[in-house]
Chain A
Amino acid sequence: MDSHAFDWRGYGLGELPPAEMAECERHLGSCAQCRTELSRWQATLSAVRSLPQVEPPRRIVFVSDPVLPEPWWRRMWKAGPQLGLASAAMLSLAIVTHGFLARPPAATAPALQPGIEARIHAAAQLEVERRLPAAVDAAWNAGFEQRLQAELRPAVAQLERQLTEREKLDVANYEKQSETTRQADLKAVRYALETYERRLNFATLTASRRSGGD
């Protein structure tokens, strides 16, 4: 095969398909002209690859640490709306879940045959007639109890008010009586003091006269 039929640049760059690479290698073993051609390309490629990799003058670094840490209250303040939103979301989810779970199950009763349906109706009617009187009595009794409670409640309240007023009046009378007694006691004490003063004055005067007469 003519050496020009082979893509030696592609072979040197490793871009040929595996089958074509293998064919090139087989041909190289028997063709000195192609080996020379390939060596020229490889010399060119080696020369370009030999360009030195220069170190950058400085390192490129991105800073991640915050310059000053945020105070705790600012972090809390920032987290507040997020916590509130999360709480609201959880509450909404709980309400929706509860509503969904608390729903009565959908009626999925199978269709009944006409005869069976009539018998069920009849049995239900009998059961209703049997239980109805007792239910009416219970309802009546329950109503009577409620009416009694409704009528008694104002009377009891009025009695309680009267007792309270009476109690207040008794207290007032007792206080008035106590005040009168206290005033009388004070008057008696004052009278006794005046009497003692007069006697003392009299005794003092008598003593001075006797001493003057001597």
Chain B
Amino acid sequence: MIFREADDRDLVLRAREGRVDAFNALVTRWEKRIYNYLLRLSPDPDEAFDLAQETFLKVFQNLGRLDDPARFGPWLYRIAHNEAMSLLRRRRLEGPAPENAPEQATGQAAVFGMASVEVSIAVRGALALLTEEQREAVVLKVCEGFKFEEIASILDTPASTIKSRVYTGLEALRGLLAPVGGAPGANLPVE
């Protein structure tokens, strides 16, 4: 379990009393994870940082509405998810999404026997090939360590659907990253 529920709860209660230093402690604790989560959903670093700022601003404004302060983590991710989805919806309305060509192009190498930099490039490329729903579910499950029930509350989706998305996404990732016929990464898209 990644949560530090007791600490978060104390900080949330203090922040609700108007202690901005307590809120800043919460931000310091979570900003890196939120930024990286948003970076998986929106690969543009500037955009991801703007989304992170918007997320924490919304959290600050709505902290009084959090029913259970011990559940601050999932609630924070839910706000971040909503912010990211709003951005993606706006982007779809404005026009076609920019292609992540470098990620996909370099994502053709396989995992086994590769250097860590190459692995991360390959994984990012493989993640980019998943659907938005699968990618977010896999990131929340594998990278962020949430339980299925917690992801269900973050995404406001049934836990069974979340489980299905995670399993399907992992199946696809294994096919994209694992060697086939002794050739690692053979399933990844080729330029």
Q: Do A and B bind each other?
A: yes
Please give the residue numbers on chain A whose beta carbons come within 8 Å of chain B beta carbons, in ascending order: 9, 13, 15, 40-41, 43-45, 47-64
Shortest C-beta distance, A58 to chain B (Å), equals 7
A57 contacts B123, C-beta separation under 8 Å: no
Q: Cβ of B35 < 8 Å from any Cβ of A?
A: yes
A52 contacts B120, C-beta separation under 8 Å: yes
B173 contacts A44, C-beta separation under 8 Å: yes
Question: Which of chain A's residues have a CB closer than 8 A to the CB of B138?
Answer: 48
Inter-chain CA distance A72–B23, complex, in Å, is 28
Contact bitstring B7-46, A, C-beta under 8 A = 1, else 0: 0000000000001110110011001110110011000011
Question: Which of chain A's residues have a CB closer than 8 A to the CB of B166?
Answer: 9, 13
Q: Cβ of B79 < 8 Å from any Cβ of A?
A: no
B174 contacts A53, C-beta separation under 8 Å: no
**Dominant secondary structure of chain B at its interface with chain A:** helix
Shortest C-beta distance, A99 to chain B (Å), equals 37
Known: A9-B166, A13-B141, A15-B147. 14 other contacts (CB 8 A): A9-B167, A40-B174, A43-B112, A47-B111, A47-B173, A48-B142, A50-B116, A50-B123, A51-B40, A53-B33, A57-B49, A60-B27, A64-B19, A64-B20
Shortest C-beta distance, A115 to chain B (Å), equals 70
B116 contacts A53, C-beta separation under 8 Å: no
Inter-chain CA distance A58–B20, complex, in Å, is 19
Please tell me which stretch of B52-60, B67-75, B80-88, B90-98 contacts chain A, meaning at least 4 of its Cβ atoms lie within 8 angstroms of it: B52-60
Inter-chain CA distance A50–B120, complex, in Å, is 7
A45 contacts B142, C-beta separation under 8 Å: yes
B178 contacts A44, C-beta separation under 8 Å: yes
Inter-chain CA distance A48–B141, complex, in Å, is 10
A54 contacts B174, C-beta separation under 8 Å: no
Q: Which of B21, B111, B124, B174 contacts A41 (CB 8 A)?
A: B174
Q: Cβ of B186 < 8 Å from any Cβ of A?
A: no
Q: Which of A9, A49, A55 contacts B143 (CB 8 A)?
A: A49
Shortest C-beta distance, B77 to chain A (Å), equals 15
Q: Which of A47, A61, A62, A63 contacts B119 (CB 8 A)?
A: A47
Shortest C-beta distance, B115 to chain A (Å), equals 11
